[in-house]
Amino acid sequence: DIRMTQSPSSLSASVGDRVTITCRASQRIRSYLNWFQQKPGKAPKLLIYSASTLQSGVPSRFSGSGSGTDFTLTISGLQPEDFATYYCQQSYSTPQTFGQGTQLAIK
């Protein structure tokens, strides 16, 4: 299985900050990388697919980059509704696997 490692596991930030979350794959996955946001009691919500394509309806302050093994999710100008847990997922091969998550909290 391809192992996905996110860092940091948690971080705190303030409204208006720019934050970056990284995701590393244990082997090359080209651009088969998705990013999700999850709030308590809710299903994950797709933010970014194919490493850098913004899902319809997702604010443009979210952006993704990377290919191969190293990927980043950036949120520019944090809003109160952005405080949540973020997951990366590789869809290059089955079983598809997720990172362990990054909890983004208000400072």
The contact set with other proteins (CB under 8 A) reads: 1, 32, 34, 42-46, 49-50, 55, 87, 89, 91, 94-101
- Partners of 98 in beta bridges: 89
Burial class (CB in 10 A: 0-12, 13-18, 19+), 105: exposed
Residue (15 or 105) nearer to other proteins, CB: 105
Q: Residue 80 CB, nearest distance to other proteins (Å)?
A: 23
Q: Residue 72 CB, nearest distance to other proteins (Å)?
A: 19
Residue (1 or 70) nearer to other proteins, CB: 1
In the DSSP assignment, the letter for residue 30 is T
Q: Residue 74 CB, nearest distance to other proteins (Å)?
A: 20
